[in-house]
Structure 1
Amino acid sequence: MGNLMEWLKNCPPLQWAEDKFEDLMVNIIRCSSVPQHIGFVMDGNRRWARQHRMETAEGHSLGFETLKDLLRVCLRLGVKEVSAFGFSLENFKRSKYEVDMIMEIAKSSLAQICSHGDLVDQYNIRIRVVGDLDRLPDDLHEQFVKIMKRTEKNTGATLNLCFPYTSRYEITQSLQRLVKKAEDGRLTPDEIDEKVFEKCLLITDSHPLDILVRTSGVKRLSDFMLWQCHENTDIQFVRNYWPDFKVWRFLPMILRYQIDQKAKS
Structure 2
Amino acid sequence: MENKKGGLVGWLFGSSIGYLRRFLFRVLSVGPIPNHLAFILDGNRRYARKWDLGEGMGHRAGFLSLMSLMKYCYELGVKYVTIYAFSIDNFRRRPDEVQGVMDLMLEKIEGLLKEESIVNQYGVRVYFIGDLTLLSETVRSAAEKAMKVTSNNDKSILLICVAYTSTDEIVHAAQEACEDKRHELLSMKKINDAQNGEIGKEKLGENNVIKIADIERNLYMGVAPDPDILIRSSGETRLSNFLLWQTSNCLLYSPKALWPEVGLRHLVWAVLNFQRAHAELEKRRKQL
CA contact (8 A) 2:65 2:259 kept: yes
**Aligned with residue 277 of structure 2, among 247, 251, 260:** 260
For 1:157 and 1:58, the matched residues in 2 are separated by 28
Please give the secondary structure, in 2, of the residue aligned with 1:86.
strand
Give the deviation of 1:111 after TM superposition: 2.2
The residue that corresponds to 1:173 in the other structure is 172
Give the deviation of 1:173 after TM superposition: 0.6
Residues 164-203 of structure 1: pairs in structure 2 closer than 5 A: 164-185=163-184, 188-190=207-209, 192-203=210-221
Give the deviation of 1:28 after TM superposition: 1.3
Residues 12 and 88 (structure 1 numbering): CA distance in 2 closer, same or farther, change over 3 Å?
Answer: farther
The residue that corresponds to 2:259 in the other structure is 242
**Aligned with residue 240 of structure 2, among 222, 226, 249:** 222
Farther off after superposition, 247-256 or 74-83: 247-256
Query: Are 1:205 and 2:204 an aligned pair?
Result: no
For 2:137 and 2:119, the matched residues in 1 are separated by 23
| Letter aligned with residue 227 of structure 1 | W
Q: Deviations over 1:234-265 (max 9, x none)?
A: 00111110000012322232123213325777
Give the deviation of 1:17 after TM superposition: 6.6
Residues 14-163 of structure 1: pairs in structure 2 closer than 5 A: 18-163=17-162
For 1:229 and 1:51, the matched residues in 2 are separated by 31
For 1:186 and 1:129, the matched residues in 2 are separated by 32
Residues 18 and 164 (structure 1 numbering): CA distance in 2 closer, same or farther, change over 3 Å?
Answer: farther
For 1:8 and 1:234, the matched residues in 2 are separated by 42
The residue that corresponds to 1:10 in the other structure is 10
For 1:186 and 1:50, the matched residues in 2 are separated by 57
CA contact (8 A) 2:37 2:81 kept: yes
Give the deviation of 1:162 after TM superposition: 0.2
For 1:16 and 1:106, the matched residues in 2 are separated by 31
Give the deviation of 1:20 after TM superposition: 4.6
For 2:185 and 2:77, the matched residues in 1 are separated by 38
Please give the secondary structure, in 1, of the residue aligned with 2:238.
coil
For 1:20 and 1:249, the matched residues in 2 are separated by 19
Please give the secondary structure, in 1, of the residue aligned with 2:164.
coil
Structure of larger gyration radius: 2
Q: Deviations over 1:214-236 (max 9, x none)?
A: 011111000000011123x1001
Q: Deviations over 1:105-142 (max 9, x none)?
A: 11122222221132221221110001111111111110
CA contact (8 A) 1:18 1:248 kept: no
Q: Deviations over 1:10-54 (max 9, x none)?
A: 3596x6775454223212122322100110000000001001111
CA contact (8 A) 2:185 2:208 kept: no
CA contact (8 A) 1:68 1:113 kept: no
Please give the secondary structure, in 2, of the residue aligned with 1:32.
coil
Name the Cα RMSD after superposition.
Answer: 2.2
For 1:155 and 1:253, the matched residues in 2 are separated by 25
Paired-residue identity, %: 28
Residues 147 and 247 (structure 1 numbering): CA distance in 2 closer, same or farther, change over 3 Å?
Answer: same
Question: May I ask how many residue pairs the two structures share in their alignment?
Answer: 259
For 2:44 and 2:79, the matched residues in 1 are separated by 26
The residue that corresponds to 1:251 in the other structure is 268
Residues 184 and 47 (structure 1 numbering): CA distance in 2 closer, same or farther, change over 3 Å?
Answer: same
